[in-house]
Amino acid sequence: MPTVEWNRRTWGRTHSWERSGDEWAFMAAYCRQPYEEWKGSLVDTLLVPGAARGTSLEIGPGHGRWTEHLLAHSPEVWIVDVNESCLERCRERFADHRGLKVHHTPGCSMDPVPDASVDFLWSFDVFVHLDPDVVVGYLAEAARVMAPGATGVVHHAGKPDWSLRLAPLNRRAGRPGKIAQRWISQRRWRDDGNRSDVSPEAFARWAREAGLEVTGQRTSWGPEDQYTVDKYRDCVTELRKPA
Ligand SMILES: C[S@@+](CC[C@H](N)C(=O)[O-])C[C@H]1O[C@@H](n2cnc3c(N)ncnc32)[C@H](O)[C@@H]1O
């Protein structure tokens, strides 16, 4: 499972960030779409309408692949990351933006972000690697910092609920069990993208328990639903803090 320590090590030390996040073009390749169109459509469909509402908060900005677009539409943008090196890179890259606010989190806290101050929450390519306890912690924090009526878009792992119930059994079966579990939960024999054991149902349940509404869950978007996050069977959940 991708622990907080694994995330710190992988994105803070191992990963080389050769294109500031744009090196992750595989989702677009998987759905046979040009990366720039896939990314542009994601930004226009899911990011801009929320960011235009006011203050935004991004969990796990990395080197700023989406932060750039949040800053183009929000007067104030909080970025929260476990890696100081990622936050430092964003500080340098967006030095001209006075609206950028930064928090280095130990795992899922957002202490300096005031209650009910955020109009839009965004996180892409981050929750897919977060263990359930960290997801639950962040959803509680999201409910605290989101203003009434605020919205959110979170990309996370979307393994079927029923397949996760078989995980303890398969874990006991060693390597063959691991391969079987990957196939039933992600339809993949190899390369699970380091996805955490989270289902759309569990994510929605935890969000509701935290006091948030789930306004939608999707795996695709675009005029012909041609853009997807299906390579590793991911899901995008849209949230709203009740007014
Ligand atoms: C795969 S990178 C994605 C970066 C960026 N969202 C993108 O799509 O280009 C994952 C990012 O999430 C951050 N991260 C991992 N675990 C985190 C956590 N518990 N809280 C905040 N950020 C975290 C990593 O440090 C890294 O910046």
CATH code, domain carrying 226: 3.40.50.150
Which of 82, 134, 198 to mutate for ligand 1's pocket (most ligand atoms within 8 Å of CB)? 82
Same domain, 134 and 205: yes
Percentage of residues in the chain with pLDDT exceeding 70? 100
Locate the ligand 1 atom nearest the alpha carbon of residue 2 and give its number: 16
Q: Is 64 in the pocket of ligand 1 (CB under 6 A)?
A: no
Which residues is 213 bridged to in the sheet?
Answer: 240
Q: Is 125 in the pocket of ligand 1 (CB under 6 A)?
A: yes
Mean pLDDT within 155-165: 96
Same domain, 203 and 96: yes
Q: Is 65 in the pocket of ligand 1 (CB under 6 A)?
A: yes
Q: Mean pLDDT score of the chain, rounded to an integer?
A: 97
pLDDT of residue 220: 98
DSSP string across 21-41:
TTT--HHHHHTT--HHHHHHH
Nearest 5°: the CA angle 118, 154, 162 is 140
Please determine, for residue 28, whether its predicted confidence score (pLDDT) is greater than 90.
yes
Locate the ligand 1 atom nearest the alpha carbon of residue 22 and give its number: 9
Please determine, for residue 90, whether its predicted confidence score (pLDDT) is greater than 80.
yes
Please determine, for residue 149, whether its predicted confidence score (pLDDT) is greater than 80.
yes
Same domain, 167 and 228: no
Which of 11, 86, 124, 131 to mutate for ligand 1's pocket (most ligand atoms within 8 Å of CB)? 11
Please determine, for residue 111, whether its predicted confidence score (pLDDT) is greater than 90.
yes
Same domain, 145 and 94: yes
pLDDT in tens, 75-88: 999 999 999 999 99
Q: How far apart are CA 78 and CA 174, in angstroms?
A: 42
Confidence of residue 97 (pLDDT cuts 50, 70, 90): very high
Question: Ligand 1: distance of its center to the CA of 7 in Å?
Answer: 7
Same domain, 56 and 167: no
Tell me how many domains the chain contains. Answer: 2
Residue 186: domain span: 160-194
pTM, whole model, 2 decimals? 0.97
Q: Quick check: 236 and 155 in contact, CB under 8 A?
A: yes
Distances (CA, A) of 29 to 38, 56, 175: 9, 29, 29
Same domain, 31 and 127: yes
pLDDT in tens, 32-44: 999 999 999 999 9
Question: Ligand 1: distance of its center to the CA of 19 in Å?
Answer: 15
pLDDT in tens, 100-109: 999 999 999 9
Confidence of residue 68 (pLDDT cuts 50, 70, 90): very high
Same domain, 81 and 123: yes
Please determine, for residue 1, whether its predicted confidence score (pLDDT) is greater than 80.
no
Burial of 72 (0-12, 13-18, 19+ CB in 10 A): middle
